[in-house]
Amino acid sequence: MRPPILRRLFRRVASATALGLLAATLSTTAAAQPAAAAAGGLQQVTGFGSNPGNLQMYAYTPAGLPANAPLVVALHGCTQTADAYYTNSGWAEFADKWGFAVVFPQTTSANNSLSCFGWFDPAEDTRGKGEAASVVQMVDYAKQSYGSDGRRVYVTGLSAGGGMTADLLAAYPDVFAGGSVASGLPAQCAGSQAAASGCQTGPQKLSPAQWGDKVRAAYPGYTGPWPRVAIWQGTSDYTVYPANATALRDQWTDVWGIGQTPSSTDTLPGNTTRSVYNDASGRPAVETYSVSGMGHGLPVSPGSGDQQCGKTAAYFLNAICSTYYTGVFWGLDGGTPGGDGDQLPAPAGVRVTATTDTTASLSWNAVEGAASYAVHRNGTKVASPADTTYTDTGLTAGTTYRYTVTAIDAAGTAGTASAQVTAVTTGGSTPAKCYTATNYAQVTAGRAHTAGGYVYANGSNQNMGLYNVFVTHTLKESPAGYFVIADSGCAS
């Protein structure tokens, strides 16, 4: 499979070579079919809402679906249709086996010439706007019409659908309990047409905290639990490069307040390596699945076995049934997502009450049944207070720290981790200076340099994308002469 060629992206009238998320071989794939192509158990739903993103809704509901069943939203890739995803992905098979409904949103060439979801367009992939808002309206319709459990709504997608999945998890963590990104992009990797191709072949070299900031900025002030995220990637994917899986891992482990070292690693069928990243309570929060030798597509495993599913087709690749392992990770098989369901709930109201140059003070609401609490700083446990307050000491001036709090019962079992809060100690070096400009202007001003047609920030050497006047970044200078990308905000 040849790598994609992406020159310019247009919302409505892009050329046939515009968006290469399914590679240059798109010319061999059938164009998106009209809505009438959906057949069998897949049914089109109209009138599900105001539909600001101009999407079509298809749904599959197994016979005898009970009330309060889970709901899965499955997003197709470029040039694909809802019917293709329904037919080949395996989600309908496990909906029958485990008892849940599936919504298959569909975009068309009226939105994008290659029928790609707009993961790169802030008018489409942000909270309350465009296609993202249309998908959430479909979820609301399913809850009202099928009796779906609003606490167990999950979203998955391939390629452009995977990029939109990550954006939906960031923009609507209050809607989706979990997500699965297959051959996709980290949330808010691209905020413009010009930046999209750079994400595919190599996303910005941001720190985990910087990737996490993109999620936190998507729904400012959110304090609830974060979605549990599965990440699927082929090692030979030259359409959406494997670096995206690493960025996704960094992004969501940082959001959860845990480190980037796996809690466990094992080998699965199809030359697949699974790495598990546990939350503060010891339950899987993020899982990565690296499929050795697989190219760009959704891994399936046709057959009648309990752990097999799907059909092979363009971009549905015979390796492993990703749908089965994703469903188990979410608890769709009847288990509890990430493990035992008897833990104490996450402490609410976690907040930073004061900081000095060497301390950060926290408080939170009491959890009934808690014998103590565990405080984690940057993913590492630092204290086990019995009360609902704690002051962390020995910190460095002018430094950012992230905290989560977990309730511990009398048996010593940890509950669900709280939402992460950030504390910045006082003092430190001179406040950082920030500069927003095109890549060309940043180089001209001496804040960045070029190599091989790309621009790199001086000091950090972070890849800023192509050397042109169409890509704009904010650079933060601290200390003098050392620049880092700060597109998500430029706090000192």
Higher pLDDT, 205 or 170: 170
Q: Which residue has the tokens 């101009």?
A: 54
Residue 4 falls inside a structural domain: no
What is the average per-residue pLDDT within 284-301? 97
User: Of all residues in the chain, what percent carry a pLDDT higher than 90?
Assistant: 59
Structure tokens at 161: 């659908």
Task: Decide which of 371, 399, 424 is a domain's last residue.
Answer: 424
Same domain membership, residue 297 and residue 370: no
Q: Are residues 358 and 410 in the same domain?
A: yes
Kindly state whether residue 63 falls inside one of the protein's structural domains: yes
Residues 418 and 445 in one domain: no
> How many Å apart are CA 137 and CA 102, to the nearest integer?
14
For the chain, what percent of residues have pLDDT higher than 70?
87
Is the same domain home to 410 and 444?
no
Residue 81 lies in a domain: yes
Number of domains in the chain: 3
Q: Which residues are catalytic?
A: 159
Domain boundary among 424, 442, 459: 424
From the number of C-beta atoms within 10 Å of its C-beta (0-12, 13-18, 19+), residue 61 rates as buried
Give me the mean pLDDT over the 24-37 stretch.
Answer: 33
Range of the structural domain that residue 447 is part of = 433-485
What pLDDT sits at residue 39? Answer: 38
The answer, yes or no, to whether residue 240 has pLDDT greater than 80, is yes
Q: What count of other Cβ atoms lies within 10 Å of the Cβ of residue 172? A: 22
Q: Which of 382, 407, 424 is the last residue of a domain?
A: 424
- Pairing mode of beta strands 284-291, 228-234: parallel
Mean pLDDT in residue range 33-46:
61
pTM of the model: 0.66
> What per-residue confidence (pLDDT) applies to 35?
34
Residues 165, 239, single domain; the answer is: yes
Position 49 in a domain: yes
* Residues written for the chain: 492
pLDDT of amino acid 12: 34
Encode pLDDT of 172-219 as tens digits.
Answer: 999 999 999 999 999 999 988 778 888 999 888 899 999 999 999 999
Residues 256 and 400 in one domain: no
